[in-house]
Structure formats: C-alpha cells, structure tokens
Structure 1
Amino acid sequence: MSNNHIKRRLPPLGALTAFEAAARHQSFSRAAQELHLTHGAISRAVAQIEDRIGVQLFVRRNRRVYLTSAGQRLLKTTSETLDELSHTVEEIHRHDSSSPFLTVSCEPSLAMRWLMPRLGTFRELCPELNIDLRMAGGPIDLLSENCDIAIRRMDFGVHEDYQITTLCSELAGPVCTEDYWEKHINQDLSGANWLHSRTRPNAWDDWQNADGMEKIAPKSEQHFDHFFYTLQAAQDQLGIAIGSIPLVSDDLTMQRLIAPLGVQPTGYDYALLTLGEPNQDPRIAAFCNWLIGQIAG
C-alpha cells in the first residue's frame, strides 16, 4: 500500500479534534461546549471516523459514552499529535519575522544583573515586540530549544552555522563594598573572606594569574552555587568576589560595589548568537542594535 493511499484514509483533522475532545471529557455535550459546536456535530464527527476505520470508538450506555480499547488507543495518539501540531504551529508563528515575540536565551547572571533592568527601555522603543526571556548558559541549540537568539559568555566552542556578533570584552577584578574594603582589607586581600561561585570556580586563580601577582591565601572562603549569588553576597558585605563587567557595571556606577584594584580583560567576550545575519530579521536587528547601544553606553 502506498503512502499516498495511507494518507487518504486518514480522517479529517476537524473530526479528530472533535473525537479528542469527546474522548477526553467522556461526553459529547462537554466536547460541544468546548469547541463551540452542537452535540450533533460532535456525534457526526465521531461517526465519520468510525465509518472510515470500521471500528467502534465509543460504547453508549445510559446517555453516557465510554471509550472502547480502540478509542483509548486513538485518543493517546490523537492527543499527542494535536499537542505536537499545536506546538509546531505556535513556534512557527513565534519565530516568524513578523511575529510579535522574540525568544532570547541569556546567561542567568547577565540577565538578572544587567539585561532585565534595561528591558523596560527596549519596551518603550519597540512596544510591539515582546521579549520572551529564558535564562540559560553555555552551549545552545537554538532550533531545538526554540530560541531566536542567545547572549553568551564565549567560553565554549560554537558550531560554524552560528553567526557571532561580539557585544563586548569581559573585564574582571575583585569587588566589594567600600565599607567592607575599609574595615576588613585595606590593601591586604589575605585578610578578607573570598567569595566563590561554583559556576566559575577558577575566577580567583584566573585573576591572580592574569595580574601576575604572587599567589596568596585568603583568611576564609565561602562558596555559592551561582555567580549572581556571589555578587549579591559581596553587595551584602559578606566578603569580596571577582566581579566582571558588564555584570557589575550598574553596581559600580551606583557605588553599591567598588573595584579597588581595578579590572582587566579576562580573554572572553560576551556575544550574540544567531542562525543568520541579525539584519535578516527585523526583530533581531532591532534588539541587537539596541543591545549594542546599551553595552556601549
């Protein structure tokens, strides 16, 4: 039997939708209410499928309907197929250049400490475009994760299919509050509580190596699961952490944190990852241009 012949034997999509609702509710009346159809329309749709496949899908007793084993099997497949179809249609709509949505995957620390406080200004510039922000770091498959773009710290390799738009070079150095520096450190880092992030476990070693300084051991150390927790701990005067720009840019500007020993390049960049040139999609172009302007500012 040819594939074309098999396809011709499939019941109409509308009939399958009516069947799925009736089977899910175990009621033709409730299915009719959900789909804004009549009870008769649901009944005819189910009968159309039963006639097409030659198998009874419901047993009707005492004005109620119950699925047969064949009906249960068809319900499972139909539900999964309709869900997948709905998801696919939604994703196609969302990622079309005319879609009012732009799905952005962003490093969690960057999103929370730098991007989110600025999204309001983008909303004012492009009120018709809704940013669906998803927090994730490291390698990403934009297609399988249904994202339009990703903002990443480029400490991993990227497939050649991706277009990389560099946003800025990362700078890093020890950061803490002014009060903490004056009370606990005053040029002697060994007397401080060093704050670490398990997502960047080598931050202190990398900074010392880049600075060419003699290795020193801290008085005490404290570890946190995420980088943004470490930076918040520094802001709460629990110790001193390695902070990176742009993540601590606002904190330095507002003097919530200071970088008493300065900052220096880490050798990594923050970049925008897309599957094509950003200017090929007006949504991505608008967001990318705004992002570059914010970084430059």
Structure 2
Amino acid sequence: MSNIHRKRRLPPLASLPAFEAAARHQSFSRAAEELHLTHGAVSRAVAQIEERMGVQLFMRRNRRVWLTPAGERLLKATATALDGLDHAMEDIQRHDGASPILTVSCEPSLAMRWLMPRLGAFRNANPGLNIDLRLAGGPVDLLADGCDAAIRRADYGISEHYVATRLWAEHAGPVCDPGCWENILVRDLSNARWLHTRTRPDAWDVWKRASGCTATPKSEQSFDHFFFALQAAVNKLGTAIGPLPLVYDDLKAGRLIAPHGMAPTGYDYVLITLDPPNAAPGSAQGRDPRISLFFDWLMAAAGDMDHGVLPASEIDGVTP
C-alpha cells in the first residue's frame, strides 16, 4: 500500500530538542541552560509531547525527574534522528562546492613528509579554501569517512564507484645520510644496514627487481611504519628505500642522498574522488571547483620538484 498520503503521528517537532536535552541531562533546568530557554519552556515542550502521545515520559519527584520506559525509548529514537539531521546538514554544507573546507584523506607518510610542508603555500595562494587533512591509508569510503577526496598509492583495487586520477608515478631507491655512505666499505650496499618497514615489507625486493641489484644486507632493522624507517635513515641509522616525493625535501636539503638513483616501482599515486576533478563545467557529473583547485595545485607542486637533487643519469625519465 502506498505511503504517499500517510499522515505522520508526530509530536510538535520544535519540542523534540527540549525533550532530548531534558532526557539526556535528567534535568529540565540543565536542559533550559543548554538551549537558552526558560525552565517553563522546557516543561511545556515535554508536556506537549506527553499529551500528544498519551503517555508519561518522566517521573517527577521533589523537583527531580527520571525517564520512564517510554521516555527511554523516545530518547533513543530522538537522539538518533537529531544526530542524523545534524550530520546530514554538516555533510551537505561541507561537501557543497561553495564550502570553504575540502576534506582530504592522505597516506600518512606522504602527508607528513611532502604534503603538509606545502599546505601553507596552498593556503596563501587560496585563502578562501581550507584543507581538512585526514591521515589514512588503504581502501577509503569517501562518504562514510566524510571526505571529499583521497590521495592513495594505488597498490590495491579501487572501487569502480570512484574516479582515480593519476597524479604521478612512484620512483624509489636506497637513501641514506651522506656520512653513512662515505663510511660504508667501498660504498657497497652489501656492507650497509638495510632499514625495513612492516607496512611495506617488500620495498627492498621491489627495488632490487627494478634495478637489477643482487646485493644482500650486512645487517637489517625493521620499523612499524614507513615514516619511521625514512626518519631513521635521516638519523644515520642505516639505508632505507625512499620513494619520491617522500624523500624529495631531504634530498634537496642534503640530509639524504640516493647513491643508486631511483627506479620505477610500478605504482602510481592517485587522487580518488566521486567525480573527475577536471570534469567540464555543466557536465552530467558536474565539477566540484574545490577539488579542481586542489588537483591543479597538486600537479603544479609535483611538477615544480627539481630533479637536480639527483644526477640526471640516475633519474632519467622520472616524472614525479
């Protein structure tokens, strides 16, 4: 049977926030303070609901109130409904193309070692748009996570419901402190301590296959996260596999060197969105101007990286 003409048996909707606050605090006075109402206004709102429903929602004793079983049920339903409305309104405003906030989920190591140091420049160039950065890796659910876009290393299957726009190809190679390399016997990787990470345990094997290297380590050490392995290399603890652009700033500043250059890993970094960031205005899917702005900036920031941090012969063909 169609529900088009069904009449909802709801109490006055304006009274529900007062009931929810009174029930949550178990106090009409505290609810009145929270909502900037009078005690009498809260009491009348609750009475309206009780009269409409024909049940008692509160037990009243000596100026104190307790929820009845019916009140407990209504509180659960009301809180769920009000929270849902609040989240929906926030989501609509946040993900509106005119919103001043763009929520971006980003691989933690990429965010900390490359993106975050550049967000100040983005803010200066685009003062009307704030980036709300969330650190996360792997599969993403943009809607459930409340994100507009995500930056990921495309080493897993991305849902067909999303658009993955390529940002740059990943290149990686061994990186270490210049002093460490000078102290390694005859500058042979077999004499180095290899730093590993449990979040990317095959990094050395991938590089060896790509570069044709057959060396084996003199000693090894593992870290819980890729970021820590790279920081350990900066701190002269050994040699790690460092991908561009994660180690670009350290290479440029001379904190790290890449004595064997960089080789392609076969993976790309991508921007994951619900619609193409460079879609034409007025297209069927439309275009979010915030995502387009951020995408264009990402591409420019990556393109501005100076490959002079490595000998040209060692990064021939590398486009970050």
Tell me which interval the TM-score lies in, with the shorter structure as reference length.
Answer: over 0.9
State the match for 2:308 in structure 1. Answer: none
Report how far residue 4 of structure 1 moved: 6.1
- Counterpart pick for 1:285 among 264, 288, 292: 292
Residue by residue over 1:220-247, the C-alpha shift from the partner in whole angstroms, topping out at 9 and shown as x without a partner, is: 1000111110000000000000100011
Give the TM-score normalised by the residue count of structure 2: 0.88
1:13 Cα offset (Å): 2.6
Structure 1: segments with no counterpart, 5+ residues: none
Q: How does 1:54-93 map to 2 (within 5 A)?
A: 54-93=54-93
Who is 2:108 aligned against?
108
Q: Does 1:272 pair with 2:279?
A: no
Distance in 2 (CA, whole Å) between partners of 1:6 and 1:179 is: 78
Identify which range, 194-203 or 138-147, moves more after superposition: 138-147
Q: Tell me the distance in 1 between the aligned counterparts of 2:223 and 2:6.
A: 58
Amino acid in the other structure paired with 1:188: D
Which one is further off, 87-96 or 255-264? 87-96
C-alpha change, 1:269 and 1:148, in structure 2 (3 Å) is same
2:255 is paired with a residue of what secondary structure?
Answer: coil
Q: SS of 1:171's equivalent?
A: strand
Aligned positions of 1:109-148 closer than 5 A = 109-148=109-148
Calculate the TM-score normalised by the size of structure 1: 0.95
Q: Alpha-carbon deviation of 1:188?
A: 1.2
- Aligned-residue offset at 1:84: 2.4
Could you tell me which runs of 5 or more consecutive residues in structure 2 were left unpaired when the two chains were aligned.
Answer: 279-286, 305-320
Which residue of structure 2 aligns with residue 245 of structure 1? 244
* Partner residue, 1:294: 301
1:47-84 deviations in whole A, cap 9, x for unaligned?
A: 11111111001122212222112112211222222222
Partners in 1 of 2:3 and 2:64 — Cα distance?
A: 37
SS of residue matched to 1:253: helix
Overall identity of the aligned pairs, in %: 66
Which has the higher mean CA deviation after the structures are superposed, 140-149 or 241-250? 140-149
Aligned partner letter, 1:197: T
Instruction: Output the CA distance in 1 between the equivalents of 2:68 and 2:254.
Output: 70
Q: 1:2 Cα shift? A: 7.3
| Structure 1 residue 98, shift from structure 2 partner | 1.2
Runs of 4+ off more than 3 Å: 1-7
- How many Å separate the matches in 1 of 2:216 and 2:259? 19
Secondary structure of 2:77's counterpart equals helix
Task: Give the alignment's Cα RMSD to 1 decimal.
Answer: 1.6
> Shift of residue 159 of structure 1?
2.2
